[in-house]
Amino acid sequence: MLFEFFAPRLRAFVSKPGADRSVIEDVVQETFVNIWRKAHLYDPEKASASTWIYTVARNARIDFLRKAVRPAVDLTDPVLAVDPIQNPQQQLSQAEEGVRLQRALASLPDKQREVLKLAFFADLAHAEIAKELKLPLGTVKSRIRLALGRMRMEFGEDES
């Protein structure tokens, strides 16, 4: 069941050293309530369930822990630019995208994967990751660029 699978993961996602237990509980609850509230916005063609739940949890974490708002794209915005070159037949299915992404992530050197994990799961910006790992900022930036470049390559997009 959704709750049994995701509740412990969400708690791990929100937990930071020194974080208040009741705040963690608030974020976990808010995430599930928002999943229910926003279920009509979930499009399985566009994202896997865990990706969508990740975005809902991330937004709840920003709301409760950072007490901030996160401006985001509105896909119904009349100003939204659509890709004129995109051929619908070339578009990968969500499942195929997932397979490629996992392949790309699995092939990353540990040091690059560590940076991604700290970014997503320790709630650290890249400058904070550099401090945490006691590395020059440039080293962290280059690990991020190599990791994302590897992902672009997997999706046949590395034009640069």
Partner 1 sequence: MIRHHPSDELMLDYAAGSLGEASSLALATHLTLCPQCRAANQRLDAVGGNFFAHPVEGTPGQETLNSVMARISSEQAVPRAVAHPLHPALPQPLRLALGCDLDAVPWKRLGIDAYQCVISTRDKIATARLLRIPAGRPVPVHTHCGNELTLVLRGAFSDLTGNYTPGDFQEADDRLVHQPHAEPAEDCVCLAVTEAPLQFKSWAARIVQPFLGI
CB of 109 to partner 1, least distance (A): 15
Among 14, 61, 64, 112, binds partner 1 (CB under 8 A): 61
Q: Does 16 bind partner 1 (CB under 8 A)?
A: no
The radius of gyration computed from the CA coordinates of the chain, to the nearest angstrom, equals 18
Min separation Cβ 110 and partner 1, Å: 15
Annotate each residue in 94-133 with x if it binds partner 1 (CB under 8 A) or - if it does not, as one string. ---xx--xx--x----------xx-xxx-xxxx-x-----
Q: Is residue 139 close enough to count as binding partner 1 by CB under 8 A?
A: no
Task: Count interface residues toward partner 1 (CB under 8 A).
Answer: 72
CA 10 – CA 57 distance, rounded (Å): 7
